[in-house]
């Protein structure tokens, strides 16, 4: 899935997305789409095609929900798949630019070395 075209990465919290589709329309790379699935609120959340995100951040600023969209601007800084101690699953972790030693889970969005807090 990870290709050289993917300079960024976007994670959508499907439960926070209200399906307004503004990001789908705004994404200049057309890598977002409206999912056929329903979330628990009955909306069709936006979804990422899985590759091609440039990390431009346009979807983030288009989206009205504070927590629905997270954009990682430096896909190349991601490590290999690892297990996140917080959410348990296997997820990509991401070195931040500011603090290279901190790893961030792309799923729960938390730095993984800190004290484990319950996942929402």
Alpha-helical (H) ranges within the chain are 22-26, 58-62
Binding mask 59-88 for other proteins (x = CB under 8 A): -xxxxxxxxxxxxxxx--x-----------
Binding mask 61-100 for ligand SF4 (x = CB under 6 A): ----------x-----------------------------
**What ranges make up the beta strands (E) of 19-102?**
32-34, 46-48, 69-72, 78-83, 90-95
d(CA 61, CA 71): 10
d(CA 74, CA 95): 9
Q: What angle do CA 55, 50, 73 make, to 5 degrees?
A: 15
- Part of the chain binding other proteins (CB under 8 A), chosen from 11-19, 30-38, 46-54, 79-87: 11-19
Q: Under rule CB under 8 A, how many of the chain's residues touch other proteins?
A: 37
- Part of the chain binding ligand SF4 (CB under 6 A), chosen from 52-60, 79-87, 89-97, 112-120: 52-60
Structure tokens at 83: 């297990």
96 binds other proteins (CB under 8 A): yes
Structure tokens at 77: 């800084």
43 binds other proteins (CB under 8 A): yes
Contacts to ligand SF4 by CB under 6 A: 8, 10, 27, 29, 31-32, 53-59, 71
């Amino acid at each position: 899935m990870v290709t050289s075209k993917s300079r960024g990465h976007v994670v959508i919290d499907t439960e926070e997305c209200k399906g307004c589709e503004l990001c789908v329309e705004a994404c200049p790379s057309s890598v977002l789409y409206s999912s056929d699935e329903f979330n628990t609120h009955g909306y069709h959340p936006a979804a990422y095609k899985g590759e091609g995100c440039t990390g431009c951040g346009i979807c983030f600023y288009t989206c009205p929900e504070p927590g629905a969209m997270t954009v990682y601007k430096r896909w190349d800084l991601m490590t290999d798949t690892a297990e996140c101690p917080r959410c348990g699953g296997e997820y990509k972790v991401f070195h931040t630019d500011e603090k290279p030693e901190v790893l961030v889970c792309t799923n729960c969005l938390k730095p993984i070395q800190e004290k484990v807090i319950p996942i929402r």
